[in-house]
Amino acid sequence: MPERLPAQTRMGVWKRSTGFEVILPYSLGFVSWLIMYLGLVALVAGAVAIAYYFPGTGVGQRLVLYCVLALMILIYIFFMAHRRKMVNHTKIRIDMTPLRLTVTRVSPAGVSKRLNELPVREIEEICIDVAKGIKINGQIEDLSYGFWVGAGLSAEDLHYLACVIGQVTKLTMQDANPLETFELR
C-alpha cells in the first residue's frame, strides 16, 4: 500500500472506524456529451431549415419565428451549461467496509443514488484500465457481477484505489480495531 495519496490526485480517501470512504469525481461518458452536442446541432439545423422554408411572408411573422427559434437554442445552451455544472459538482462516493463495497452518486443538492453494491468477500478480481477506470468483478451465488468505477483518474490514482480495495478485502469484523495498524496519510 502506498504511504501517501498520489500528487495532483482528484480523489479523497478517508479512514473510518469501519473501513474507508473514497470520493471520486463524476464524469459523463463521451457518448452522453456527444448526444447532447448533436442535439444542439440538430436544433440549430432545424431552426435554420424552418426559417428558410417558412411560408409566411409577413415581417412580423418572421420576426416572431426567429425570436422563438433563437429562444429555443438559448434555452438548450443554458441546459447544457447547467448540466456541465452539475456533472462537475457531482461526486462518486465509495464506502468500503469489511462486509460491503457500496458505490453511490451524490449530487450537489445532496441527493444520493446507490449505483452498485457488492459484498467484499464476493470480489474476485480488480482490473485497471487507464481509459475506463477500475473494473471490480465478483460473483454473487451463480451470477457473475462487474462494474466500472474511477473513469478519468490517472494511473497512479487507480493503482492507489486498487490498493485501498485490496486492503479492505483483508479486513475482518473479528478484529478489535481492524484499521489500527493501517496508517492513511
Please state, in angstroms and rounded to a whole number, the distance separating the CA atoms of residues 62 and 178: 72
The DSSP result for 13-68, as a single string, is EEE-SSSEEEEEE----HHHHHHHHHHHHHHHHHHHHHHHH-----HHHHHHHHHH
- pLDDT tens-digit map of 17-47: 878 888 888 887 788 889 999 999 999 998 8
Asked if 43 and 72 touch (Cβ cutoff 8 Å), the reply is yes
Phi/psi at 118 (nearest 5 deg)? -145, 130
Residue 120's pLDDT band (cuts 50, 70, 90): confident
| Residue 151 to residues 99, 132, 147, 148, Cα–Cα distance (Å) | 24, 5, 11, 8
pLDDT at 61 over 70: yes
pTM comes to: 0.72
Q: For the segment 142-181, what is each residue's pLDDT rounded down to a tens digit?
A: 778 888 888 888 888 888 888 888 888 877 655 545 445 4
Instruction: Provide the pLDDT for residue 3.
Output: 67
Domain 12-26+91-170 -> CATH class: mainly beta
